[in-house]
Amino acid sequence: MKFRVERDALAEAVAWTAKSLPSRPSVPVLAGVMLRVTDGNLRVSGFDYEVSSQVTVEVQGDADGAALVSGRLLAEITKALPAKPVDIAAVGAHLELVCGSARFTLPTMPVEDYPALPEMPQSAGTVDAAAFATAVSQVAIAAGRDETLPMMTGVRVELSGSTLSMLATDRYRLALREIQWRPDDPEVSINALVPARTLNDTAKALGPLGGEVTLALAQGAAGEGMVGLAGGTRRTTSRLLDGANYPPVRSLFPATHNAEARVPVSTLIEVVKRVALVAERTTPVLLSFSADGLVVEAGGSEEARASEAMEATFTGDALTIGFNPQYLIDGLANLGSQTAMLSFVDAFKPAVISPAGEDGEVIPGYRYLIMPIRVSR
């Protein structure tokens, strides 16, 4: 194998592929990225039996072939190279990489020991790449991080006709986003639980490329289903999580509310960040709403306290409610609007944060539910 490639194209391809590689692989070859050159195209791929990533880059190919090298090491090297063309050649049991006056010799692993990447499942439809990336980021923040509860670490993707819905919850908050997409089958009705981290990383990489993302799904027995995402020259596949017993979380959104507030998003985020400086990890921030506006308060150890008043338009009976400050900031920061609508039943039931337009009306499509923290005052 021998080829020449632009440094930026190589660095991007290797970085994206290496990002999904396991830090503690079950077998050494899974820590590698496969470089395969055929007909002037370089295919960079990685696979850990759960997630596969693959990018195709145009190169000046002198000799077709394949080589398997440490993904993380190659990613670090390519990122640090000078902005010049890169010459790469497989020589015996090593890979030689030359860029300007920089020269690296890396050991290779046996290509024949590397597992075959899974095929892309059957396409279910396409969605605008930028809109998809935004929607995924809005939902993935609410997914759980606790690997002992794998179901909560996923994003539930619901395909129903031309509507693509995504939900995620860590039991303390819940995010729901609905966007339009173009299904291959107008009557489609499929639900799948996709690992949130993989979905978010992939959508974030495909979004800036523009164009469309192809969403592919293969349903199977528990742990055997697969999702595929493809855009531009990149494609990723991932095993689905077992979502058979995923709770009916949509029912958590209250049907009615007794009070609501409209607040400027950026101002509230800044105020919560400032006030939360005195709060300990488990200490909530208190939001006190009244006809006069909003007062945000927090108290920490050794009598450290903070409070700040800000403008807010509030309708309903005066209300004081406590929230985890980071969960509140996460929801506000991902609204995608300058104004937030906060809807309340009472101080002890979940509140719903929605984006609002300049007219104060809720913009449909995104809702972020956050559980209150009971506070004795």
pLDDT at 377 over 60: no
Same domain, 239 and 264: no
pLDDT at 36 over 80: yes
Same domain, 344 and 304: yes
Tally of structural domains, the chain: 3
326-343 pLDDT tens trace: 999 999 999 999 999 999
Same domain, 312 and 240: no
Element (H, E) at 65: strand 65-70
41: helix, strand or coil: strand
pLDDT confidence band for 261 (50 / 70 / 90): very high
Check if the beta carbon of residue 44 is closer than 8 Å to that of residue 54: yes
pLDDT recorded at residue 54: 96
Counting Cβ atoms within 10 Å, is residue 375 exposed (0-12), middle (13-18) or buried (19+)? middle
Same domain, 91 and 185: no
pLDDT confidence band for 220 (50 / 70 / 90): low
CA dist., res. 176 & res. 191, Å (int): 14
pLDDT confidence band for 290 (50 / 70 / 90): very high
In a domain, 166, yes or no: yes
Check if the beta carbon of residue 69 is closer than 8 Å to that of residue 95: yes
Counting Cβ atoms within 10 Å, is residue 277 exposed (0-12), middle (13-18) or buried (19+)? exposed
pLDDT at 221 over 90: no
In a domain, 221, yes or no: yes
Q: What mean pLDDT is reported for the chain?
A: 94
pLDDT at 303 over 80: no
Check if the beta carbon of residue 52 is closer than 8 Å to that of residue 121: no
In a domain, 375, yes or no: no
Same domain, 290 and 331: yes
- Which of 250, 278, 312 is where one domain is finished? 250
pLDDT at 237 over 60: yes
In a domain, 65, yes or no: yes
Same domain, 100 and 47: yes
pLDDT confidence band for 104 (50 / 70 / 90): very high
In a domain, 174, yes or no: yes
127-139 pLDDT tens trace: 999 999 999 999 9
Same domain, 11 and 37: yes
Same domain, 73 and 96: yes
Same domain, 185 and 227: yes
Same domain, 44 and 127: no
In a domain, 171, yes or no: yes
151-160 pLDDT tens trace: 999 999 999 9
Mean pLDDT in residue range 170-191: 96
Same domain, 200 and 166: yes
**What range defines the domain where residue 49 resides?**
2-109
63-90 pLDDT tens trace: 999 999 999 999 999 999 999 999 999 9
203-215 pLDDT tens trace: 999 999 889 999 9
- Which of 79, 109, 139 is where one domain is finished? 109
CA dist., res. 199 & res. 204, Å (int): 8
- Which of 230, 250, 270 is where one domain is finished? 250
The CATH number covering residue 8 comes to 3.10.150.10
Mean pLDDT in residue range 345-353: 96
pLDDT confidence band for 23 (50 / 70 / 90): confident
Mean pLDDT in residue range 102-116: 96
pLDDT recorded at residue 12: 94
Same domain, 10 and 96: yes
In a domain, 115, yes or no: no
Across 249-261, b (16+ Cβ under 10 Å) vs e yields beeeeeeebebbb
In a domain, 377, yes or no: no
Q: What is the pTM of this model?
A: 0.91
pLDDT recorded at residue 301: 63
Check if the beta carbon of residue 328 is closer than 8 Å to that of residue 285: yes
